[in-house]
Structures are given as C-alpha cells and as structure tokens.
A and B are shown apart, each in its own frame.
Chain A
Amino acid sequence: MKFYLKKIFTLIITLFIISGITFFVFEIIPGDRVLNVLGTDATPEMVEAMREELGLNRPVTVRYADWLKDAVKGDFGTSYNYSVEVSSLLKDKLPVTLTLAAMSLILIIFISFPLGILWASVKKPGGRKDTIVGILSQIIMSIPSFFLGIIIIWVLGIILKVFAPGGYISYSKDMTGFIKYMFFPAVTIAISKSAQVVRFLRNSLIKEKKADYVRTAYSKGATPKKVMYGHVLRNGMIPVVTFLGTIVADVMAGSIVVEQVYSVPGIGRLLITSISTRDFPVVQAIILYIVFIIIIVNFVVDMLYQLLDPRISQGHR
C-alpha cells in the first residue's frame, strides 16, 4: 500500500513541476497569442481589448494560480483556437492516438517476437547469416519514420492505390474505415520500432542461452523448444519489457511525425498546431497528459517485472 501511495505522490509532484515549467516557458518564448489571432490587421486598441478578454493582462503568477485552481478541478479552460473546452477537444482526439498506439503495439509484438526468437535461434552467432540479418535490422532501424511514411504513401497510396493518402475517416463516422486508414500509420511506426525490439530481444535471448541453467536443462533432456519457451524466453523478456515500456509511452504520447505525414488528427498533431498558434490551454493539457502517460507506463512496467520474475520484489510490501 505504501508503495502505491509513494507512486501517486511522485505523479502529483511531477505533474505540478512540469505544469509550472510549461507555463513559464510560454511566458519567455517570443510570439504572442493575441497578435497571432489578430494578425497583420491588429490595431493597438484591438490588441488591448483582446488581452483584457483573455485575461492576459494579469500578472503571470496570478494567471498560473488561477489555472492551477481550475486544473485541480479538472477544468483545463477553453481552447483559444477552437473556442471549445480543452477537455472535450482532447476527448475527441485521444481515441485517435490511442487506437494508433494500440494497433502499432500489436503489430510490433506480432512482428518482433517471432523474428527475434528466430534470429536468436541462428546456429552460429557471428556467422554469415547472422551478420546479414544484423545489417538488415540496422538499416531498417535507421530509416526515419517520416521517410518510411512517405515511401509507404508513395508506393501503396499513389502507385498501387491500396489506400487513399490523407483519406482519414473519423471514428465517429465509420469505425471500419477509421481502422483501415490507421493501419498504414501503425505499420510505419511498427516497422522501425520492431527492428529495435527484434535486435534487443535477440541479444537478450543469446545472452540467456549461455547461462548455466540452460545447460542444466539440456542435460536433463529438455528439447530446444522447451528450453526456449519454458526458460530462456521468460528470463530474456525482462529487459525487453522495459524497452517495450518506453515504446508504449512514446507512441501513446502521440507519434507526432507519423501523424503529421499521414494527416492523422491525433494528439501529436494537435500539440504541434497549438504550440505554433500559442494556444496555451491546449499545450498545457497535452503536456500534462504526456507526463501522466509516461509515469503510468513506467509503473505498469514495474508491475510486469514482478510477474515475470518473482525475485524482483519491492521489498517493503
């Protein structure tokens, strides 16, 4: 119980500190929300009137305190850009990013686990086959996801016309159409991330395979299959879970680049737009969401450790 309380306390403190930093960073960076809205036709009177209306005339500390007071109640204010509540805006965009995250994660697991195990089963690590696969995975890993995205759109979207580039369909209109469109963005994320997971898993498995208990298992007459799935995989998974954790956090926080390339209206693209138009309430809420996700995912990873390896206990439970 103490363990959970401590985690929650850390979460709250981190959120508080990050929100403060974001708030004051927005004060310092050049660019002004009001001028951004009024554009080149702004007169000093119009600027003044709008500042008054948005409450930007008050000192920064007062504004922060007010924002904090509302945020604690779950009220993140109204978006300057869209004149709608920030919470309802996020509620619309979250399913998009979360679906993308879930689909990519499924693909990552489906692609990388079999391939990682397969690669780790290569007879001679360091041999020719092993080297070729190693180089291949290195190449795939180093392709930037925006480039991969453009290539996929170009080949599958424009030449082969497998899907319509930018033909995003909202999940509220057509769920199947939505999932179909999200498939290729998910593939784009999955390919580069999978290359990393495959390599990670392979290294970890090879290391485990050299462990003493493996020799013991073989001498007891266990088949290679049984050794791999019964012992090696389970132990080799521990570092991989940590790695998957960072990937999950990464993807759930909005795959900014991939959302941009595929014109997917998710959290990542919303963040970019909001920063460039100085839509502060939205930026603040999204950043807190990202921090929240990262902390929660780390927490879940900790829990998984214990499931995989009961030796790792928190001590004070």
Chain B
Amino acid sequence: MKKANFNLKKSLLMLITLTLTVALCACAGDKNNDNEGTSSDVTSQAEPVYGGSVVVGVQQEFDSLDPHLATAAGTKEVLFNIFEGLVKADADGNVVPAVASKYEISDDFLTYTFTLRDGVKFHNGNAVTAEDVKYSLERCAGILDGTPLIKALSVIKEVNIVDQSTVDVVLKQPDTELISYLTAAIIPAGYDEQATAPVGTGPFKFVSYTPQEGLVVEKNEDYYVEGIPYLDEVTFKICSDSDAAMLELKGGTIDVFSHLTSEQANELSTDFNIESNGQNLVQGLFLNNAEAPFDNEDVRKAVNYAISNEEIISFVSGDEGYALGSCMTPGLSDYYEDLSDAYKQDIGKAKELLAKAGYPDGFDMTITVPASYQFHMDTAQIIVEQLKAVGINATIEPIEWSAWLSDVYTDRKFQSTVIGLAGQLAPGYLIARFETNAHNNFINFSDAEFDEVCAKVSTTTDQKVKIENYKRMQEILSEKAASVFIQDPPLLVAINKKLAGYKAYPIYVTDMASLYFTE
C-alpha cells in the first residue's frame, strides 16, 4: 500500500512539473521580439531613422471614427493623426495652413477665402478638390441636413467654389475666431463609411480597428510634407485601465502613454523619457451658483480663501501644474491674465466671510466627482481636508462618468464638483460658457457685466479690444468668485527611450508624425 501511494505521488508530481515546464518554455519563445539593443544612452538629438512601428496606449474606446461625429477628447487626440482641416494647430498653439496653403479674411470678418494646397491627396488616392472642401464644411455646419455637427461652424452661411483651388466661406455674422474651428477634418465628398473605414489627408492612414483591441494606422506615403512621417506603423492600443497600462509599459508592450499621474511618471522615469506640458485644461472645484449656500458670493469667496492651489498642485501634479485664478489657460498666452494670486489661502478671511454670510460654524456640502478620474478624486480629497480648517464639512460623492454627464453637467443637480474643462485654440471656447443663458453654463453663473462683454467679444474685429474684453471676463469670474479655479494640470507622457522627436502641444493631441526611432 505504501509503495503504491508513493508511486502515485511521484508520477503525479512529475506530470504536473512536466506540463508546467513545457508550457513555460513555449511561452518564453517570443519574449525577445523587440527587446534587442536596449542601450539607454540615446540623446534626443540623434539622427532620425525611418521606419519602425510604435504602440501607443490609450485609455478609452473611441466614440466614433467619423471625425465630425467624434466628440471625446481621447478620440480626437488619435484622429488628429489621420485627419486634417483647411488649417491645423502647430506645437506652439498657432493655427497654420494644412489642406489649404493660405487663407485671407475679409475686413468685415464675413468671408474667409482659402487657397487649396497643390497635390494634397486623400488616403484613397484621390486629390482633394474644392467640392470635397465644400462638402466637408457644409456637413459640419449643418447645411446638408439641418443639424450642425460642430456648433461653432453653424455660423457658416454658405461655402462657394470660386475655382478649382479657391473656396469662399461666407458667414451669417462676423466671427473673428472661426479660423481655429476650421481645423475640422476635410473628407471625401459623399463618402459615407467614415465611421468604419475613415479616409482623410493626415500623415497616417487607417488600416484597421478592432473593438477593445485597438486602431492601426500606417504611414501615408503621399503626405504633402516632405520626409514626414518617420514611422511605418502606429497602433493605438486600448488598455483596460491605467494600472494595466503601467504593467504593459514596464513589460515593453506599449511605447507611448499619456495622461500619467505624477506618481506613475516618477515610477517610470528611469526607463522612459517623461515629457510634461500644459494641456489647456481648467481644473476646478465648480460651485453651483444657483444652489444654497453657493448662491451667496461671500460663501464662494470663503471657499476660495480656504483652498490652496499650491498645496493641491504639489500633491497631485508633483509641482508641475500651472496655478489658475480664472477660466483661461496660460497656453493661450495672448489672452491669459494671471489671477492666481487673487485668493491666497487665508483661513482668517475665510472664516470672517463665512460668519458674514451667516455660517459662522461652517456647513455641510457634497462634492460630486466622476469616480473613474483618479486625478480629480485625489484633488477632491485634498479639498475636503482644506475645507475642514474653516469648519466646512465636505463629503465626496463618487459618481459614474455617464451619470456625471446627465445629472451634474446637463441637469445641473449638484452642489459642487471637481472636473477639468478641456480648452481649444479659440480663446472663447471655455470662457463663453459662463454667459447666463449658455446651454453649457452648468454652474449657473450669472452676471450682467459678464454677459455684456461676452456678447461683444466674438464680433469685435479689433484684436486689442478683443484681448481687453477677454481679460475683463476673466477678472469678473475671479471678482465674483464664480468657482474655485485650481490649475492647468501637466500632461505627463512616458515615451520609449529609443524614440525622439516628441512635440508637446498646448492642446490635447498626440502627434505621431514627428516621432522617430534613433537607432
């Protein structure tokens, strides 16, 4: 009996060991595909090498591959590489000609005239014609079927083809900021499969998209800029969450990943190049101005005095964020006014204001935060601690992103929320929302002077007056303590050390065209 038992044990053990060993060996076979030559002494000045493929990790699924229907910032960030408008943003935040080679704006800001660039081809091989431009713009403006796909373009009255390479865009009313919205993609006229097989003019062309896996693009050989792009293939791989992405970065599966927390960036800094830039995002503790107690200006001011931007920035952004005092980011340097010192943390003043407003002992409040945004959750946590010092007892209510959009943003059923508002190149894009009747004025801010200046600003043709008006709008938001504007958080990007040429944009894009391998 003893012997039988022993044999059974032994052979079982052998069997299991054998199975596992075989399986492990089988799996070890493919590990050194892309790990050869890991020398780390590469400088970013190294000579570009053409070719190679790169995997970029992205955190969310794409909402639509049709560039006019895509609204998620994470989708636009990727589509930036496939599509181009008449003009596009460059790394300095300027609007530069793209599909158009130049443009002129009439003195009354009613007609924008574009000259199309010679030799720009769609990814399907066809040359871009004036008809394609007309179709694309009319589609965005809602002239084709009544619903504008891009609201800012609904100001377009008609698009006229002057000759084969000249197009006039005629507006219903003067608009001095329209040019930054004409980055809207130019697509082939009448092509209706953009959602599944997108065709554009950008440096990369679409290859395939597999839900939950990723989007693959390849080099556009016909791109009109000589020598660009360098890479042959880019895969935008969907990672299930940022923890999974961290493991994949360390394991060498992905080469580029943005939107890191400062903690993650620190952890990766030995093996990756970490790039940091502003991202034109206004993060704030937004207070519902129509909801007690934040309908009281003194209470809003008290909250502003209670909170220290610097402390938050040092905790969540590793000291890399820009402190803000109003709803404009330093990236829009012409229009930005630094008001970050308007409410230096002052517990005494905060308590005084609370007493004046009738809350000498503070009050209870709720901060509704989308739970999937760890960054905003962390920020809210620090705010709760800071508010305690003045007697305000805040509770964080985590909420799903979908529910945040419907309950907080659309139905405005909230007391306060921590969120980031993503800006665009147009200076008015973010700040115009605080006009009393704006559909996206989710904090219910209302101020007569603000409304007056806001109404003037988009039709002002004098650049100097315009800048003055925008600065005044920022000041009013600060004076009235519309909310607590915290920071423009740094966009932290981890990049494989073998890659160079990364360009930091002041807007939310990942430009793959300038990236290249150094060996």
Tell me the A residues contacting B by CB distance below 8 Å. Answer: 29-32, 35-46, 49, 79, 81-84, 89, 92-93, 110-111, 114-115, 117-118, 121, 150, 153-154, 157-158, 161-168, 170, 177, 180, 183-184, 223-225, 259-263, 265, 269-270, 273, 276-278
Given A166-B251, A167-B253, verify A270-B439 contact (CB < 8 Å). no
B151 with A37: CB separation less than 8 A:
no
Task: Chain A residues near B31: list those with CB within 8 A.
Answer: 161-164
Proximity string of chain B (163-200) to chain A, C-beta cutoff 8 Å, 1 when within and 0 when not: 00000000000000000000000000000000110000
Interface size class of B (residues with CB under 8 A): 35 or more
Closest 3 CB pairs of A and B: A31-B402, A166-B248, A165-B251
Partner of A170, one of B210, B253, B254: B210
- Of residues 2 through 26 on chain B, the ones whose CB sits less than 8 Å from some CB of chain A are 4-5, 8-9, 12, 15-16, 19, 23-24, 26
Contact A224 B405 (CB under 8 A): no
Cross-chain contact of A183 among B16, B23, B72 (Cβ < 8 A): B23
Residues of B within 8 A of A38 (CB): 71
Q: Determine if B63 and A37 form an interchain contact, defined as CB atoms under 8 angstroms apart.
A: yes
Contact B195 A83 (CB under 8 A): yes
Q: How far is the CA of A29 from the CA of B400 in the complex (A)?
A: 11
As a 0/1 sequence over residues 231 to 253 of chain B, the CB contacts with chain A under 8 angstroms (1 = contact) are 00000010111011101101111
Indicate if the CB atoms of A150 and B247 lie closer than 8 Å.
yes
Cα A262 to Cα B71 with chains together (Å): 28
**The one of A41, A46, A150, A180 that contacts B147, using a Cβ cutoff of 8 Å:** A46
Give the docked Cα–Cα distance between A117 and B195 (Å): 56
- Given A31-B402, A92-B211, 11 more A-B residue pairs with CB atoms under 8 Å apart are A32-B405, A83-B195, A84-B196, A114-B15, A115-B12, A164-B251, A168-B213, A183-B26, A260-B240, A260-B241, A261-B244
Contact at B64–A170, with CB atoms within 8 Å?
no
**Chain B residues near A223 (CB, 8 Å)?**
4
Residues in chain B near residue A150, CB distance under 8 A: 243, 247
Q: Complex: how many Å from CA A14 to CA B349?
A: 64
Q: What is the predominant secondary structure among interface residues of chain A facing chain B?
A: helix
What CA separation (Å) do A134 and B251 show in the bound complex?
A: 35
The 19 sampled A-B contact pairs (Cβ below 8 Å) are A29-B403, A31-B405, A37-B71, A42-B410, A92-B211, A114-B12, A121-B5, A161-B251, A164-B30, A165-B253, A166-B244, A180-B26, A180-B27, A223-B4, A260-B241, A261-B240, A262-B244, A263-B239, A276-B372
Q: Which residue, A164, A166, A223, A259, has most C-beta atoms of chain B within 10 A?
A: A166
Residue B35 at the chain A interface, CB threshold 8 Å = yes
**Do the beta carbons of B12 and A35 come within 8 Å of each other?**
no
Chain B nearest CB, measured from A92 CB (Å): 8
Contacts of A37 in B (CB 8 A): 63-64, 71
The residue of chain B having its C-beta at the shortest distance from the C-beta of A53 within the complex is: B147
B251 touches A40 (CB 8 A): no
Give per-residue flags for B61-88: 1 if the beta carbon is below 8 A from chain A beta carbons, else 0: 1011000000111000000000000000
Cβ B28 vs Cβ A162 within 8 A: yes
B407 at the binding interface (Cβ < 8 Å): yes
B4 and A44 within 8 A (CB): no
Chain A contacts for B406, CB-based, 8 A: 30-32, 35
Pick from A39, A92, A158: contact of B72, CB below 8 A: A39
Given the complex of chains A and B, what is the CA–CA distance between A40 and B23 in angstroms?
Answer: 49
Q: Residues on B close to A: CB < 8 A?
A: 1, 4-5, 8-9, 12, 15-16, 19, 23-24, 26-31, 33, 35, 61, 63-64, 71-73, 147-149, 151, 195-196, 210-213, 237, 239-241, 243-245, 247-248, 250-254, 372, 400-403, 405-407, 409-410, 421-422, 439-440
Q: How far is the CA of A40 from the CA of B429 in the complex (A)?
A: 12
Are B63 and A81 in contact, CB atoms less than 8 angstroms apart?
Answer: yes
Q: Quote the shortest CB–CB distance from A45 to chain B (angstroms).
A: 7
- Chain A: which residue is nearest B195 at the CB level? A83
Q: How far is the CA of A166 from the CA of B253 in the complex (A)?
A: 6
**Cβ of B181 to closest chain A Cβ, rounded Å:** 12
- In the docked arrangement, what's the CA distance between A261 and B440, Å? 37
Whether A225 lies near B402 (C-beta < 8 A) is: no
Which residues of chain A are near B410, meaning CB under 8 Å? 32, 35, 42
The CA of A260 and the CA of B211, in the complex, are separated in Å by 14
User: Which chain B positions have C-beta within 8 A of A84?
Assistant: 196, 211
B73 to chain A, nearest CB (A): 8
Report whether A35 and B405 are in contact in the complex, using a CB–CB cutoff of 8 Å: yes
Residues of chain A lying within 8 A (CB to CB) of residue B195: 83
CB distance from A274 to the nearest CB of B (A): 10
Q: Kindly state the separation between the CA atoms of A154 and B403 in the bound complex, as whole angstroms.
A: 34
Q: When chains A and B are docked, how far (Å) is the Cα of A40 from the Cα of B433?
A: 11
Residues of A within 8 A of B16 (CB): 110-111, 114
A31–B403 CB distance below 8 A: yes
Closest to B63 in A: A37
Closest CB in chain B relative to A186 CB, distance in Å: 10
Give chain A nearest CB distance to B411 CB in angstroms: 9
Closest A residue to B28 using CB positions: A162
Contacts of B27 in A (CB 8 A): 162-163, 180, 183-184
Q: Chain A contacts of B71 at CB under 8 A? A: 37-39, 41-42
Interfacial chain A residues near B421, Cβ < 8 Å: 40
